[in-house]
Amino acid sequence: MREEGLDIRRVQDADVKGRAVLVRVDYNVPLHDGSIADDSRLRASIPTLTTLLDGGAKIILVTHLGRPKGKPVPALRLDVVSDRLSELIGRPVYKTADCIGEEVAQAVKNGHPGDVFLLENVRFHREEEANDGAFARALASVADVFVNDAFATVHRAHASTLGVAKLLPSYAGLLMQREIEALSRLLDTPARPYIAIVGGKKAQSKLGALRDLVSHVDALLIGGGVAFTFLQATGASVGDSLVDDDAVGEVASIVQAASERGVEIVLPSDARLARQLEPDAETFVCDARAIPDGWAAFDIGPDTVRTFRERIEGARTLVWTGPMGAFEMEPFAAGTIGVAEAVAASGAFSVIGGGETGEAVARFGFADDVSYISTGGGACLAVLRGQQLPALEVLRN
């Protein structure tokens, strides 16, 4: 995605007066005991909804929630989402019993400009993720215009992201535009030094991004579970720490590529250990290359935080994806908090790669001190890797 990636059709240029607008949103919100634990994804969509309502549109929202694997799952129905969205926008949100079918078509047909409908979880149908043509046509049949505001799904070629966009006049929502503009700065002319901070649980899910980031950044700071696969690949003893054994060979090739390009890879020098991941676990800090058997690392240690902070202080561009440890539990939160503090204080253009990292930055009070928090972890990584984004390509002028 280069500068021409910004040349997309924008919702603010669409004629929506009196028209039914199908809007793909990302309401894949975290739930706790049947309630929404964090409504930030709903709030992020409000500027686009307001633009459409001010323009005289009738809105039909489509989203997924969780992983129902193509069949209805009562706990993943969207009633709680429609209730909360109604509170946020100050008007009724009419939740339909399904996302396609005659009842849905009739409800939308009977609606008026200013009405907001929320279709039931689109992933209750297997045809969604298969980008089935007939399913896409059924979704599109209730609308005159399509707006994609779900950046977190833009790397997925699904019926509600790609299929419908080929059937209706299609535009990017305001959130989508903000994401593209922020991430384009990382690809086009990032201010140097440009540092990527990569964490998370499993190395396998980050290897592709790491391999491609080596071609863009000046240094890689690697923490979280990902780091211990790297450490083992370099001959360290990591005890019972999480390691992706199948990824060790590819790690070696990434290290070699970084060396050839002069990209520094900084791994943890110490780690906080426990025998089990529990909130009241006995912990201690140990050399990250000499972890005893029976113990596992669940966070980077204080020396590593200091080292990472020194590198971060000298950066002018930062991207961070993946927490440094099991930050949800107090004994293992210090690494993620320390890195968040450093990023927030750096003065660099900083992009947080969504998902758990964005959750952590918000939880620890640093959301207002970073440049941008992406709403899409996987989509953000796809952009940074320079991959084609099918649901974005179809929105180009």
The identity of residue 229, as a single letter, is T
Question: Which residues, including other chains, have CB under 8 Å from residue 265's CB and lie 6 or more apart?
Answer: 219, 220, 222, 230, 254, 255, 258
How many CA atoms lie less than 13 Å away from 385 in the CB half-sphere? Answer: 20
Token readout for 79 is 């009633």
How many CA atoms lie less than 13 Å away from 118 in the CB half-sphere? Answer: 25
Cα(294)–Cα(296) distance, rounded to whole angstroms? 7
Give the three-state DSSP class for 48: helix
CA distances from 168 to 134, 160, 187 (A): 14, 12, 30
Cα(143)–Cα(397) distance, rounded to whole angstroms? 21
Give the three-state DSSP class for 182: helix
Cα(145)–Cα(159) distance, rounded to whole angstroms? 15
Q: What are the φ/ψ torsions at residue 141 (nearest 5 degrees)?
A: -65, -20
Nearest to 361 by CA among 390, 383, 333: 333
DSSP string, 225-251: HHHHHHHHHTT-EETT----GGGHHHH
* Active site residues per annotation: 41, 202, 355, 378
